[in-house]
Chain A
Amino acid sequence: MTEIRLETPLDPGVATALRAGDRVRIYGDIYAARDAAHARMLELMERGEVLPLDLEGAVIYYVGPTPPRPGRVIGAAGPTTSSRMDPYVDALLSRGLRGMIGKGARSPEVLEALAHYGAVYFAATGGAGALLSRAIRSEDVVAWPELGPEALRRLGVEGFPAVVAADSHGGDLYTSGPERYRSRRPSA
């Protein structure tokens, strides 16, 4: 199956060219952030303060890794459930965020926001933390180390494997995939 090579930060034209179901490999820096780091970013934005990361074209990976074993860059690093971050998406997209990596379906509001801002939502294989960690070549904490696994991190990735789960044209693989599967089954 063909894989599309993507480099971060994502150019607007690159993001909008992607379609739900496309398989991609991501190269460059991405940011690791989950519940607590999102809450902090929103607090800063509401107070009008500067964020500790440049969101223009950025990709955020919803992940809270395990500590690295000796000699390794990072521990298990698979995606967490994206829907918990749904309430934060619009604000971040409005500041230039162009991609998110996680697992599980997004709200209708998020799907609309992807179309509005020309952004994309990728899914990585949930629960494949050991496998996905292999594509992560560097890790450093950018902000809020006191949050432990929830700190904001920069991850250098090479060929991080993901699938476009929702695109900027209304495509949503979490809806269309199971529908398509059910419709072609003999029993259907």
Chain B
Amino acid sequence: MREIDVAEVSSAVARLAEDSNYRLSRGYMARLENVLSIEDSDDARPVLEDLWENACLAAEGEAPICQDTGVAVVFLEVGQGVHLVGGDLAAAVDAGVSRGYRNGYLRNSVVGDPLLRENTGDNTPAVLHVDVVPGSAMKVWFLPKGAGSENMSRSAMLRPADGRRGVVDFVLETVEGAGASACPPLVVGVGLGGTFDLAPLLAKRALLRPLGAQNSAEHLAALERDLLASINDLGIGAGGFGGRTTALAVHVEAHPCHIASLPVAVNLQCHAHRVGVVEL
């Protein structure tokens, strides 16, 4: 049995909160450079240039990438051979969020009650997902999720007869309905199957994948390619004034489902695709 002190989890969360809000991944920057080089719209190119310059300024520590530093979405993968000691796990995650948002000069964007709407003052609590997996390792993922793209995300219970075509139509309707509000070029997470609750979680999990990494199932990888091409055919473009690249990547995650169901969920991620991960 391997012991991990929850204080280590706090430290990891705090560091990831700060890092992910200032620095985009190398893979992301390469993709941005690529879409900038092929953009043929005079309306979209200045937006992409702004995003490039903005990412550089943020990486130098001037200010976070975006003022919406998000709700802290934390995924933990805990090996079955890990014994967590030193206190309450969820409290440790929240302590990390609180510290990371304070040290990083990040915005507190959480209200304690959805109707009373009083700011909690330290961006806690996190939205926490914990999975127990084989092994003795622990992985911490941090996804600061902004509301611009989250508010435009959707899910539906399609009929099995709607099939692949129904899924494609639903994803396209979602992206088109979001327009510029979700801050394209987007990363599009799609969850297929499971139950009413699981499909959106699959869609969110899909955002954790390295940008553009394909699903290992060939028919789902093909769906990702087709969706990306169709989304970019919408012509919404960076900033929403028309352009070649509306999405940078589409990631699909699927799960078995009921014989009578075809749940689908689309979790939109803005171009500030901030994801941090560390293994303890």
Contact = CB atoms under 8 A, between A and B. Distances in A.
A76 B65 contact: yes
Contact of A75 (B53, B105, B272): B105
A130 B65 contact: yes
Nearest to B184: A126
Chain B CB within 10 Å, residue with most, of A76, A103, A177: A76
A135 B189 CA distance: 34
Contacts of B65: 76, 127, 129-130
Interface in A145-188: 147-150, 163, 165, 173-174, 177-182, 185, 187
Contact of B235 (A123, A174, A178): A178
B29 to A, nearest CB: 14
Given A69-B62, A104-B179, A181 B243 contact: yes
B180 A126 contact: yes
Contacts of A131: 50, 53-54, 57
B43 A181 contact: yes
A72 interface: yes
Interface string B33-71: 000000001110011001101100110011111111100
Interface stretch (B86-94, B106-114, B191-199, B215-223): B106-114
A69 B179 contact: no
A130 B148 contact: no
A91 interface: no
Interface stretch (A6-14, A48-56, A78-86, A114-122): A78-86
A63 B62 CA distance: 18
B169 interface: no
Interface residues of B, number: 49
B180 A123 contact: yes
B161 to A, nearest CB: 30
A178 B239 contact: no
Contacts of A41: none
B270 interface: yes
B270 A127 contact: yes
Contact of B179 (A128, A174, A181): A174
A179 B62 contact: no
A105 interface: yes
Interface string A26-42: 00000000001000000
Contacts of B25: none
Interface string B64-80: 11111100000000000
A75 B51 contact: no
B240 interface: yes
Contact of B180 (A68, A174, A181, A187): A174
Given A125-B51, A127-B54, A80 B68 contact: yes
Contacts of B151: 81
A140 to B, nearest CB: 17
Contacts of B106: 66-67
B67 A78 contact: yes
A125 B50 contact: yes
A66 B107 contact: yes
Interface string B205-242: 00000000000000000000000000001111101111
Chain B CB within 10 Å, residue with most, of A104, A129, A163: A129
A179 B41 CA distance: 12
A99 interface: no
B15 interface: no
A97 interface: no
Nearest to B151: A81
Q: Which 5 A-B pairs have the closest CB atoms?
A: A181-B242, A104-B181, A177-B241, A177-B242, A131-B54
Given A104-B180, A174-B179, A179-B242, 11 more contacts: A64-B107, A66-B107, A67-B105, A80-B67, A104-B179, A125-B46, A130-B58, A130-B62, A148-B119, A173-B43, A178-B235
